[in-house]
Copies of this chain bind each other. A is one copy, B any other.
Amino acid sequence: MIIHLKEHLDAAAVERLAGELEAVVVPGNGRAVLVTPAARKTLAPDQEALTDSVFVSDTDMQLADRRYRRETRSIEVGEHRIGGGSDATLMMAGPCSVESREQIEACAELVAGLGVSTLRAGCFKPRTSPYSFQGLGQAGLDLLAEMRERYGLLVITEVRDATHVDAVIEAADIVQIGAKSMYDHGILRRCGSAGKPVLLKRGLATTLQEFVQAAEFILSGGNEDVVLCERGIRTFEPKTRFTLDLCGVAYLKHHTNLPVVVDPTHAMGYAYGVPDLARAATAMGVDGLLIETHPDPPNALSDASQQLDFAQFRELFASLGPVAAAVGRRIV
């Protein structure tokens, strides 16, 4: 149950009511908003007296529910806007990891040259083995800051665990929470007050319900700018790295008020399939795409098989415009 309280209630009254209802107080300006567990469906008369309006929910997908807020949230990213009534599909492209100045510079140049808005690259890599490349860490963040400066690009980069979440929030234009970190309360709660858009990736075996509930941690922490990213779920199929769940994207578009982005690269795991899947996602009218591209994929320090080389990326990028136009959208 989402409760919009009356204006001019003092903080003590709000806290008292929240305590009675076992509710979370959503930080924000203006009137206070409480969210109770979904199990609560009614208020006592004295509680109702403090209330302006309520939204009763059947699950703990609450603030993200399209029945609560009909319009897709509109999110400002640099000079662009996604969601809401915007026809923009945000292209976020770049290598899996920042590996060196030369490598990230080559990517930034490619991306900026094509008019792509956003550079993506990881610095804290959530590798499954302790014996492989773990990312450049803060040095990588510094390189990304330099690229933003020199090429006028927006930057999206990933937080891996709570120990460096502040550094990533500081450095990024969009904070990415990765698939393996998306249940991490330390990260989610910190992002609730990040003051920046957060792109939340779906976990490998995360149901759509749980996925949206993870977003609720951020939304109820006071950050309204959450973007959901489908990046492939784990299934029985071994020929592809994961299985891109576009049924799930259709669900999220229909049932939530959050912008939705697709990452075909991680889902497929092989460069050959990425262009087809990127066009498929574009035809669904998603709000953004995450695509990996690297100057020399076979020698990449991570995800070597799945990154497009620059020629492949250029070819893909050229093909996306007409598909976007066919569904009334444009790539930025």
Residues of A bordering B, CB below 8 Å: 23-24, 35-38, 60, 62, 124, 126, 128-132, 134, 160-163, 180-181, 183-187, 203-210, 213-214, 216-217, 220-221, 232-240, 242-251, 253-254, 267-268, 272-273, 276-277, 279-285, 319, 322-323, 325-327
Contacting pair B238 A233 (CB below 8 A): no
**Contact partners of A272 in chain B: CB under 8 A:** 250, 254
Q: Is the CB of B277 within 8 A of A247?
A: yes
Flag if A126 contacts B283 (CB, 8 Å): no
Q: How far is the CB of A330 from chain B (nearest CB, A)?
A: 13
A243 with B248: CB separation less than 8 A:
yes
15 CB < 8 A contacts A-B: A35-B131, A36-B131, A60-B130, A128-B209, A160-B186, A162-B162, A162-B186, A208-B240, A232-B247, A234-B236, A238-B238, A240-B247, A243-B247, A244-B246, A244-B247
Q: Give the CA-CA distance A31 to B183 in the complex, in Å.
A: 39
Contacts of A235 in B (CB 8 A): 233, 235-236, 243, 245
A36 closest partner in B (C-beta): B131
Q: Report A38 CB to chain B, min CB distance, Å.
A: 7
Question: Given the known A-B contacts A37-B131, A323-B327, are A208 and B185 also in contact in the complex, defined by CB atoms under 8 Å?
Answer: no
B-side contacts of A216, CB under 8 Å: 129-131
Q: Which chain B residues lie closer than 8 Å to A237 at the CB level?
A: 207-208, 233, 245, 247-248
Q: Do the beta carbons of A254 and B280 come within 8 Å of each other?
A: no
In the complex, the answer to whether B132 meets A161 with C-beta atoms within 8 Å is: no
A23 and chain B: residue at smallest CB distance: B131
Q: Is the CB of B236 within 8 A of A205?
A: yes
Question: In the complex where A160-B185, A205-B236, A277-B250 touch, is A283 in contact with B214 (Cβ < 8 A)?
Answer: no
Question: A60 to chain B: which residues have CB within 8 Å?
Answer: 128-132
A242 touches B247 (CB 8 A): yes
- A74 to chain B minimum Cβ distance, whole angstroms, is 21
CB distance A207 to B187 under 8 Å?
Answer: no
**For the complex, what is the distance from the CA of A247 to the CA of B276, rounded to whole Å?**
9
Cβ-neighbour of A207 out of B163, B238, B250 (below 8 A): B238
* 6 cross-chain pairs, A with B, having the tightest CB-CB distances, nearest first: A205-B205, A250-B273, A161-B186, A283-B283, A280-B280, A60-B129
Give the distance in Å from the alpha carbon of A281 to the alpha carbon of B268 in the complex: 15
- The CA of A327 and the CA of B36, in the complex, are separated in Å by 47
A163 touches B162 (CB 8 A): yes
Q: Assess whether A185 is in contact with B161, with CB atoms less than 8 Å apart.
A: yes
Of the candidates A129, A206, A238, A273, the one having the most CB atoms from chain B within 10 angstroms of its own CB is A129
Q: Which residues of B are found within 8 Å of A277, using beta-carbon distances? A: 246-247, 250, 284
Closest to A323 in B: B326
